[in-house]
Amino acid sequence: MNASKPERILIVNTFGIGDVLFTTPLIRNIKENLPDCFLGYICNQRAKGVLINNPHIDKIMVFEKDYYRNLAKFSRLKALKDFLKFLNRIRRERFDLAIDLSLSGQVSFFLWLIGIKKRIGFNYKNRGRLLSQSIAIEGYEGKHVVEFYLELLKFMGFKVVSQNLEIYLSPAENMWKEDFLKNNNISDEDMVIAIIPGGGASWGKDAGLKHWPAENFAKIADKCIEKFKAKIIILGDYSDLNICNKVFEATNGEVIQVCGRTDLRQFAAILNRSNLVITNDGGPLHIAVAMGAKTVSIFGPVDERVYGPFSNDPVRHRVVKRFLDCRPCYQRFKMAECNNKRICLEGLSPDEVLRAVEDLI
């Protein structure tokens, strides 16, 4: 095997849906440069849905850190045995290159332990000591995360030939979409606007710091019905049900509420039909971009230059934000101290968001 051309490549990214979607241009570029390679991917269960049916991935393996932690509470021996079985599954694949995006010293250690000779990634807080080649970072800042990921191609001698986020729907999923539209009396001529008032699940208990107030989303929904005769669909994960119901109950017009009733693939299929998606910063925004929808996204503490909509057609996407000296306050994976952590969101009026909607429509 030519040392510059690995035959079996493993990508490791155990973060959220948006982060995994940010790797799809990297995946495509690897396969464009090395079409005959075997490409494996390790992600968590929640993010797996964005990779299913991707023709450039040969094998998806799921790693859930919490599974082993919870198991260890009852039996450390059982947790260790299960984890060693998982490592052996990876070792048997005989990968000769790993792209470690975990920012974790433990992951790079285990990749070294199972004998993957070349390991590339980011050296964050000196956690990349066991990587063969790395880029030193203090956080993702100054450019988009996708661009950070694509920069790793230089270690493989590959050029960037594609920069699109990608999700691939199956024929069955497209059929489900058509049935959904028919059952909800949505025709080809209808303007469909998806509203996603939740998101940000990877932030856990702090996800609400990304959420624009529910009553504002309701006002936008009513305005879109009044001005554009739009069909409004409220979407979200089951964990977003509370905020989605608040939006639903506060709207005056007729809206379709399917929050918590779709899986990730069906969620993506609906966004694929949507003419416009109005959403907070988070994974749903990036699913919308990947599915080709226009987007209006609302950003609070997070830097849109790093985590905003990434597209070759930026005119289809609008970011609404407040121009404050203190934002973005989420930098280097941490929130800065703030006396009012929601000031950057609560100060955004529905009129500002509506202007962005009108601009795109």
Q: pLDDT tens, 256-275? A: 999 999 999 999 999 999 99
Q: How far apart are CA 251 and CA 241, in angstroms?
A: 15
Q: Provide CB contacts within 8 A for 144, sequence distance 6+.
A: 22, 305, 306, 307, 308, 310
> Residue 88 carries which side chain, given as an amino acid letter?
N
Confidence of residue 112 (pLDDT cuts 50, 70, 90): very high
The answer on pLDDT for 243 being more than 80 is: yes
- Residue ranges, comma separated, of all CATH 3.40.50.2000 domains in the chain are 8-156, 171-360
Q: What is the predicted pLDDT for the residue at 4?
A: 64
pLDDT tens per residue across span 12-65 = 999 999 999 999 999 999 999 999 999 999 999 999 999 999 999 999 999 999
Q: Residue 1: pLDDT above 50?
A: no
Residue predicted with more confidence, 133 or 335: 133
Q: CATH homologous superfamily of domain 8-156?
A: Glycogen Phosphorylase B; (3.40.50.2000)
Q: What is the mean predicted confidence (pLDDT) over 124-137? A: 96
CB atoms under 10 Å from CB of 227, counted, come to: 12
Question: pTM value?
Answer: 0.95
At residue 276's C-alpha, the angle toward residues 272 and 281, to 5°, is: 95
Q: What CATH number belongs to 171-360? A: 3.40.50.2000
Summary mean pLDDT of the chain? 94
Q: How many CB atoms sit inside 10 A of residue 35's CB?
A: 8
Which position has the higher pLDDT, 29 or 204? 29
- pLDDT score recorded for residue 202: 83
Alpha-carbon distance of 173 to 270, in angstroms, equals 10
